[in-house]
């Protein structure tokens, strides 16, 4: 029997031997599991997956997945992934990281990755804090959240990743919750299956620096509706939401950037251009 | 002119066509079998500012402008003061200018050069579609002694898309210009045409060609002067040989894209200039730490900060050598001339691939944006390839395993046997993050030793010996090589005995080899930086002794041959 | 993509769902036991570990009854019944400073989730084979319940460490500190 079960792809086939050492309770654990489940359901060959990350608690994820991974520098995962996808269109490229990594230091790459709309999936493990550096406010932190770094809060309004993604040209925009593993797995599967740049912004409690975020298990809601491909409607939904709705806010067929190259010439042909 | 070299400059403002004149004359000289070199300079305006070209022609390969100007044509004098230190007119110069809208400026009159006035407005009136610069081409061609056919051929090569009536009138204007002045000295009558096959190529094009030859398949870049030409050369070509050019949102992205492409198994590079390198530096360290091959071309301009974007200097050497945090052994290579840029770039790609690390290629604005007629550069075979993990490998894979040559096979995504996560954190040989002292030391040693023990063969430098027991040796690198070489050769012809060592490989520095060449000789280090970066580097590494002398001059003006010769002579008194 | 709901009470599908639920519980208790160890909370880790072993035994019952049968693959998003909650969801309340007694509390909640599923099946199901498996599972859970109660009675209830004592740096130190 065991053998028969293993014939099918299971999450185990995608989890590496290295075990995560996130804080017990951290939302990132559930996202890791959901990601492995999604890979298994899609039966992606491990060697065709490129899992790219930056730096942060969340960005440790490639080490835990049995695939090709790149644990790069803080904030640049999307750029590195863009290079990989351009060089290797055959790879399934998944980028994962935190809210600090993606929306703050990597904010410019976020905008342009959406705009490029290359066929890849971006998973943001948003805990509204810089976890790894011990609890400083991130772009998604509420303005009045007090911390050592910002004793009176930042006083700066929060960043709206879904709104920015929509305005920048991403073609799949969803929000998930780490505490809803089944719903999350489904979102990730649909994001990977989507042709184009897919953003899955996942609320993932940092139990250590934001213990209050455990409340999300009570407050997050499922939005059961067919995704719209109408930008105005999506904008309405995104901006109308208090940030606690999960589901696909927008999915559309938009031009995907795919470098096209041929082999019609050789270097020798170009050398001739210089002849006098 | 004694060494069968003539130097012609052209200046003008607002689209007067100085650069076109230069391009046509350069092609013309190539058409009659000679060599030439053209440097250009422009004002800060994006369009319509004043611009100038300086051309040096010879019957032997030449890759620098002579110190003095033999013949200058001013289409007008507006903004000329900007170029007055580059276009070094002297009392032997012949200056021709269009007197229809300007009078001779005092600063030029004072020089005492031979002045010839022409009224091009009147000429233009006589031929319908003609432009003043067409007459200038004719006048200069006659002065130089170029046959008209070679000019017409060059014109066809330059203006291929313009309409026929225009070309016809332009030809008439050139013919008119050709006979406008009574005296035409024909400066090249005693030159020997070359039978070599020759190329008309700029340094930035040479870099692009070298990249193609090296097998580059991904270029990611953000525009910056004076490096953009490399990308513009590659963009339409790379995609026809199976590669891609990615337009990055900034240099931080560009460098990371390069690493991503290379991780995917494709040789990858970026081209930028100092400010861009500053932004790339963190990710350059990532290429070193994760042992991902990557080539960064820095076409240096004047710095710091935005500095002098359109002009040349060799002042990013320290940045290339020491710019990264932590200890990040990598390779720094510099081409010595336009022709050398082709092979140096090809070599640089190979070094990055073979050693799985970062290679910085230091070119500069003078090398990159100058154009020359050079002997065709044959493709080389360096046999430098990436060591990759075999598809059928059976052993458990350790990405950063310590091997004999410290280079571990790299698994290319798609290979079932090599799943791994590339790491920018310090790691174990298996690629697991680790902050243990022992792992750190092991990996530091590995990264250092693969670079240190690599066989760079003869490519590391150009060495010219005087053939006698030399009393002195001049050390230089990059674009100053041309001037230094000519200076040393002239001094040796005058009876001195001086060797020349021009480094192509700046890091790791071949300390022992340099020491051996310098033994018992007065060492003179020549470079284009204000603070003597190269000199201090060689000194600090112990490659040269404390009695070594430094000739270091800031850009953007090219080091003059006469100054170099003078310095060497003084040093050896 | 459409994911049609199918009949949940097909015995093989139900068994596959139980299997999947247990698989999730095993993975998470094992993973959390490991990270609790890494965070120097061995007491709580031990509880997680013990329960993980019980979950494995529970899964053994399912596998024993389904010998030679190929269980269908259940889409990972499919939930057995409307009120079902994923067993891992209680684990968000794990804490590296938690007491042994708090660890027991969380484990009970997970066991409860399993039990609720079994109870649901007892009510809805009419299939004999399935009934016997579920029966075995419920019995096993009850047996464990007795044993667990005795152990829990001895559990520490006071926190030995405060968040101030535990420097989070130690948590990451053997993998490169705080990046
Ligand atoms: C260039 C640079 N700046 C700062 C840091 C320090 N740093 C490491 S992770 C991090 C923030 C991580 O926050 P986030 O991306 O939200 O991930 P989380 O830990 O919350 O999952 C920072 C600021 C760094 N590694 N590199
Ligand atoms: S600090 Fe926060 S984000 Fe980081 S592992 Fe701990 S709980 Fe997770
Ligand atoms: Mg965060």
Where exactly are the structural domains of chain A? 4-272
B86 close to B366: Cβ distance less than 8 angstroms:
no
C79 in a structural domain: no
B212, A270: Cβ pair inside 8 Å? yes
User: Is residue B120 domain-shared with residue B211, that is, in the same domain?
Assistant: no
Q: Check pLDDT > 80 for residue C177.
A: no
What ipTM describes this predicted complex? 0.97
Please name which of B58, B97, B59 lies closest in space to residue B78, comparing C-alpha atoms.
B97
> Is residue B188 included in any domain, yes or no?
no
**Does residue C165 belong to any structural domain of this protein?**
no
Q: Which residues pair with A123 in a beta bridge?
A: A96, A200
Which of B30, B244, B415 lies at the smallest CB-CB distance from A261?
A: B244
**Mutation site, A2, A3, A16, A24, interface C, largest C CB count within 10 A:** A24
User: How far does B326 lie from chain C, in Å, by closest CA?
Assistant: 14
C174 located within any domain: no
Q: What is the pLDDT of residues B189-206, one digit of tens each?
A: 889 999 999 999 999 999
CATH number at B525 reads 3.40.50.920
Q: Identify the residue whose C-alpha is closest to ligand 2 atom 1.
A: A131
- Does residue B416 share a domain with residue B505? no
Contact B297, B363 (CB under 8 A): yes
Q: Are B552 and B471 contained in the same domain? A: yes
Contact by Cβ (8 Å): B98, B118? yes
Interface of B with C (CB under 8 A): 425-426, 432-436
Domain residues for C145? Answer: 9-73+88-156
Is the Cβ pair A87, B266 closer than 8 Å? Answer: yes
Return the bridge partners of A96, or none: A53, A123
What pLDDT score was predicted for residue B129? Answer: 85
Cα–Cα separations (whole angstroms), residue C93 to A26, A219, B449, C110: 9, 15, 49, 12
- Taking CB atoms and an 8 Å cutoff, what residues of chain B touch C173? 435
* CATH dotted code for A4-272: 3.40.50.970
Q: Are B100 and B112 in contact (CB under 8 A)?
A: no
CA distance B257 to chain A (A): 4
Q: Please judge whether A87 and B268 are an interchain contact, meaning their C-beta atoms are less than 8 angstroms apart.
A: yes
B210 and B259 in a single domain? The answer is yes
Q: How far is the CA of C44 from the centre of ligand 2 (A)?
A: 18
Which residues in chain A have their CB less than 8 angstroms from residue C94's CB? Answer: 24-25, 207
Residue C110 lies in a domain: yes
What residue ranges line ligand 1, CB within 6 angstroms?
A 55-58, 74, 97-101, 125, 127, 129-133, 138; C 179
Q: Collect all residues of chain A within an 8 Å Cβ-Cβ radius of residue B261.
A: 83-84, 86-87
pLDDT greater than 60 at residue B218: yes
Query: What is the whole-number distance in angstroms between the Cα of residue A130 and the centre of ligand 1?
Result: 6
Both B317 and B206 in a single domain? yes
**pLDDT tens digits along C140-175:** 999 999 999 999 999 988 876 655 554 444 444 444
Query: Average of pLDDT values for B471-486?
Result: 96
- Chains contacting A (3+ CB pairs below 8 angstroms): B, C
Q: Is the pLDDT of residue B298 over 80?
A: yes
Return the half-sphere exposure (C-beta side, CA atoms, 13 A cut-off) of residue B357.
26
- A208 Cα–ligand 2 center, Å: 6
**Which ligand lies nearest to the CA atom of residue A30 in the structure?**
2
Residues of C in contact with B436 (CB under 8 A): 174
Domains in chain B, number: 4
- Total domain count for chain C? 1
Minimal C-alpha gap between A145 and chain C (Å): 19
User: What CA–CA distance (Å, rounded) separates B517 from B498?
Assistant: 12
Decide if B427 contacts B381 (C-beta within 8 A): no
Å between A21 CA and nearest CA of chain C: 5
Q: Is the domain of B171 the same as that of B244?
A: no
Is the pLDDT at C17 greater than 80? The verdict is yes
- Same-domain check for residues B116 and B171: yes
CA pair distance A179, C85, nearest whole angstrom = 10
Q: Residues B212, B337: one domain? A: yes
The answer to whether residues B310 and B327 belong to one domain is yes
For B381-392, write each residue's pLDDT tens digit: 999 999 999 999
Q: d(Cα B96, Cα A210) in Å, to the nearest integer?
A: 78
Query: A100: which DSSP letter?
Result: I
Q: How many CB atoms lie within 10 A of CB B479?
A: 33
- Determine, for residues B434 and C173 on separate chains, whether the beta-carbon distance falls below 8 Å: no
For position B295, which CATH number holds? Answer: 3.40.50.970
Residues B20 and B35 in one domain: yes
Look at residues A152, A151, A93 and name the one whose alpha carbon lies nearest to residue A117.
Answer: A93
Q: Which residue has the tokens 């130190």?
A: C173
Tokens of C129: 């084979």
Say how many CA atoms lie within 13 Å of B6 toward its Cβ.
25
% chain C with pLDDT above 90: 63
Give the Cα separation of C140 and B242 in Å (integer): 63
Distance A26 CA to ligand 2 centre (A): 6
What's the token pair of residue A135?
């609890």
Residue-wise pLDDT tens digits, B48-70: 788 899 999 999 999 999 989 99
Residue B224 is part of which domain span?
200-375
**Closest Cα in chain C to B431:** C175
Q: Among positive and negative, which fits the CA dihedral B460, B461, B462, B468? A: negative
Phi, psi (rounded to 5 degrees) for B259: -65, -40
Answer yes or no: do B44 and B173 share one domain.
yes
- The verdict on the CB of residue A57 being under 6 Å from ligand 2 is yes
Residues from chain A that touch B373, judged by Cβ atoms under 8 A, are 276
Residue A69 β-bridge partners: A51, B421
Closest ligand 2 atom to the C-alpha of A205? 7
Q: Select the more confidently predicted residue: B14 or B410.
A: B410
Beta-ladder partners of B40: B53
Confirm or reject: Cβ of A208 under 6 Å from ligand 2: yes
Distance CA B87, CA B56 (A): 12
User: Which pLDDT belongs to residue C157?
Assistant: 87
Q: Say if B187 falls within a structural domain.
A: no
B185 within some domain: no
Q: Which residues of chain A have pLDDT under 50?
A: 1-6
Residue B554 and residue B533: Cα distance in Å, rounded?
Answer: 11
Residue whose pair of structure tokens reads 């798609």 in the numeric block: B414
**H or E segment to which residue B511 belongs:** helix B511-518
Q: What's the confidence (pLDDT) of residue B83?
A: 87
CB A72 within 8 Å of CB B424: yes
Q: Is C122 within a domain?
A: yes
A217 touches chain C (CB under 8 A): yes
User: Does residue B29 lie within any of the structural domains?
Assistant: yes
User: Which atom belonging to ligand 2 lies closest to the Cα atom of A25?
Assistant: 7
Whether residue B138 is predicted with pLDDT greater than 90 in this model: the reply is yes
Cβ-proximal residues to B183 (8 Å cutoff; 6+ apart), any chain: none
Distance A124 CA to ligand 2 centre (A): 14
Question: How far, rounded to the nearest angstrom, does the alpha carbon of residue B539 sit from its chain's CA centroid?
Answer: 25
Crossing angle of the two packed helices C42-65 and C128-153, in degrees rounded to 10: 160
Three-state secondary-structure class, residue B352: helix
Q: Which of B375, B407, B429 delimits the end of a domain?
A: B375
Percentage of the residues of chain B whose pLDDT score is greater than 70: 99
Is any atom of ligand 2 closer than 6 Å to the C-beta of A14? no
Query: pLDDT value at position A6?
Result: 44
Q: Do B111 and B215 belong together in one domain?
A: no
In degrees, rounded to 5, the angle at the alpha carbon of residue B66 between the alpha carbons of residues B63 and B72 is: 115
Q: Residue C54: left (phi > 0), alpha (psi -120 to 50), or beta?
A: alpha
Output the CA A74–ligand 1 centroid distance in Å.
Answer: 6
Report chain A residues whose CB lies below 8 A from the CB of B213: 267
State both tokens at B303. 């710095």
C42 domain-assigned? yes
Task: For chain C, list residues whose CB is within 8 angstroms of any CB belonging to chain A.
Answer: 1, 3, 19, 23-24, 27-28, 31-32, 34-36, 38-39, 41, 44, 63, 66-71, 73, 75-79, 86, 88-89, 91-96, 98, 168, 171-172, 175, 178-179
Q: Which residues of B touch A64 (CB under 8 A)?
A: none
Cα of A71 to ligand 1 centre, how many Å? 13
- Rounded to the nearest integer, the mean pLDDT of chain B is 95
Atom 10, ligand 1: residue with shortest CA distance: A56
Interface A–C counts its CB contacts (< 8 A) at: 115
């Amino acid at each position: 029997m065991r053998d028969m079960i293993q014939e099918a792809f299971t999450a185990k086939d995608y989890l590496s031997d290295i075990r995560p050492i996130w804080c017990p309770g951290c939302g990132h654990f559930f996202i890791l599991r959901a990601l492995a489940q999604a890979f298994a359901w899609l039966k992606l060959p491990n060697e065709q997956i490129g899992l790219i990350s930056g730096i942060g608690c969340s960005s440790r994820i490639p080490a835990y997945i049995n695939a090709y991974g790149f644990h790069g520098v803080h904030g640049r995962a999307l750029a590195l992934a863009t290079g990989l996808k351009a060089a290797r269109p055959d790879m399934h490229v998944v980028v994962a990281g935190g809210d600090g990594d993606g929306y703050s230091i990597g904010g410019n790459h976020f905008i342009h990755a959406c705009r490029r709309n290359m066929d890849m999936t971006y998973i943001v493990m948003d805990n509204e804090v810089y976890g790894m550096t011990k609890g400083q406010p991130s772009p998604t932190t509420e303005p009045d959240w007090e911390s050592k770094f910002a004793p009176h809060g930042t006083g700066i309004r929060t960043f709206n990743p879904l709104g920015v993604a929509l305005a920048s040209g991403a073609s799949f925009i969803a929000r998930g919750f780490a505490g809803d593993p089944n719903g999350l797995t489904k979102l990730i599967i649909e994001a990977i299956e989507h042709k184009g740049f897919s953003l899955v912004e996942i609320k993932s409690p940092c139990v250590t620096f934001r213990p209050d975020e455990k409340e999300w298990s009570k407050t997050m809601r499922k939005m059961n509706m067919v995704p719209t491909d109408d930008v105005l409607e999506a904008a309405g939904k995104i901006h109308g939401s208090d940030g606690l709705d999960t589901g696909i806010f927008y999915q559309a067929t938009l031009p995907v950037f795919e470098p096209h190259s041929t082999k019609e010439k050789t270097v020798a042909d170009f050398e001739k251009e210089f002849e006098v | 002119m004694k060494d069968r070299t003539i130097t012609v400059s052209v200046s003008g403002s607002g689209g007067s066509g100085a650069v076109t004149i230069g391009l046509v004359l350069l092609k013309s000289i190539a058409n009659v079998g000679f060599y030439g070199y053209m440097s250009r300079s422009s004002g800060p305006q994006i369009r319509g500012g004043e611009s100038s070209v300086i051309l040096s022609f010879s019957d032997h390969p030449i890759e620098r402008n002579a110190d003095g100007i033999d013949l200058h044509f001013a289409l007008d004098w507006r903004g000329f003061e900007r170029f007055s230190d580059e276009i070094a007119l002297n009392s032997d110069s012949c200056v021709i200018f269009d007197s229809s809208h300007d009078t001779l400026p005092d600063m030029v009159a004072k020089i005492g050069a031979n002045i010839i006035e022409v009224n091009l407005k009147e000429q233009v009136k006589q031929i319908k579609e003609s432009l003043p610069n067409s007459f200038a081409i004719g006048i200069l061609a006659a002065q130089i002694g170029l046959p008209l056919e070679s000019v017409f051929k060059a014109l066809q090569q330059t203006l291929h898309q313009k309409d026929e009536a225009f070309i016809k009138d332009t030809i008439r204007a050139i013919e008119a210009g050709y006979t406008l002045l009574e005296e035409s000295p024909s400066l090249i009558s005693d030159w020997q045409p070359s039978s070599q096959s020759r190329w008309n190529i700029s340094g930035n094009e040479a870099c692009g060609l070298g990249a193609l030859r090296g097998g580059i398949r991904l270029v990611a870049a953000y525009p910056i002067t004076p490096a953009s030409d490399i990308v513009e050369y590659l963009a339409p070509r790379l995609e026809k040989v199976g590669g891609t050019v990615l337009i990055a949102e900034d240099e931080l992205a560009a460098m990371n894209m390069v690493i991503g492409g290379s991780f995917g198994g494709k040789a990858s590079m970026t081209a930028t200039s100092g400010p861009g390198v500053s932004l790339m530096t963190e990710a350059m360290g990532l290429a070193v730490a994760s042992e991902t091959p990557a080539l960064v071309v820095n076409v240096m301009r004047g710095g710091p900060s935005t500095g002098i974007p359109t002009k040349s200097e060799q002042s990013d050497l320290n940045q290339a050598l020491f710019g990264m945090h932590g200890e990040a052994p990598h390779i720094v290579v510099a081409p010595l001339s336009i022709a050398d840029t082709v092979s140096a770039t090809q070599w640089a790609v190979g070094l990055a691939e073979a050693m799985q690390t970062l290679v910085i290629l230091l070119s500069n604005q003078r090398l990159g944006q100058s154009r020359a007629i050079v002997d065709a550069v044959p493709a080389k075979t360096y046999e430098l390839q990436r060591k990759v993990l075999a598809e059928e490998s059976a052993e458990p894979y350790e990405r950063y395993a310590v091997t004999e040559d410290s280079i571990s096979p790299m698994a290319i995504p798609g290979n079932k046997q090599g799943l791994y996560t590339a790491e920018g954190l310090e790691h174990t040989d298996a690629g697991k993050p680790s902050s243990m002292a022992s792992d750190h030391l092991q990996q530091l040693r590995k990264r250092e030793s693969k670079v240190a023990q690599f066989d760079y063969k003869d490519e590391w430098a150009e060495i010219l010996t005087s053939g006698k027991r030399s009393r002195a040796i001049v050390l230089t690198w990059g674009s100053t090589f041309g001037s230094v070489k000519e200076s040393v050769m002239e001094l040796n012809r005058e009876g001195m005995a001086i060797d020349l060592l021009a480094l192509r490989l700046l890091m790791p520095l071949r300390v022992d080899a340099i020491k051996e060449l310098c033994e018992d000789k007065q060492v003179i280090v020549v470079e284009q930086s204000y603070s003597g970066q190269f000199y201090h580097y060689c000194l600090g590494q112990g490659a040269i002794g404390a009695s070594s002398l430094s000739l270091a001059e800031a850009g953007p003006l090219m080091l003059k041959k006469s100054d170099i010769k003078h310095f060497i002579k003084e040093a050896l008194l | 993509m459409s994911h049609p709901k199918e009949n949940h009470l097909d015995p093989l599908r139900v068994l596959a769902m139980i299997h999947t639920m247990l698989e999730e519980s095993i993975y998470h208790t094992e993973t959390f036991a490991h990270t609790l160890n890494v965070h120097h909370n061995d007491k709580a880790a031990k509880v997680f570990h013990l329960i993980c072993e019980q979950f494995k035994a529970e899964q053994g019952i399912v596998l024993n009854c389904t010998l030679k049968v190929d269980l269908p693959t259940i889409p990972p998003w499919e939930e057995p019944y409307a009120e079902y909650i994923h067993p891992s969801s209680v684990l968000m309340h794990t804490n590296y400073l938690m007491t042994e007694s708090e660890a027991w509390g969380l484990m009970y909640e997970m066991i409860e989730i399993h039990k609720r599923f079994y109870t649901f099946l007892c009510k809805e199901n009419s299939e004999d084979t399935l009934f016997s498996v579920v029966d075995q599972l419920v019995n096993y859970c009850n047996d464990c319940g007795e044993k667990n109660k005795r152990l829990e009675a001895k559990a520490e209830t006071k926190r030995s460490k405060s968040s101030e004592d535990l420097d989070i740096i130690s948590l990451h130190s053997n993998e490169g500190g705080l990046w």
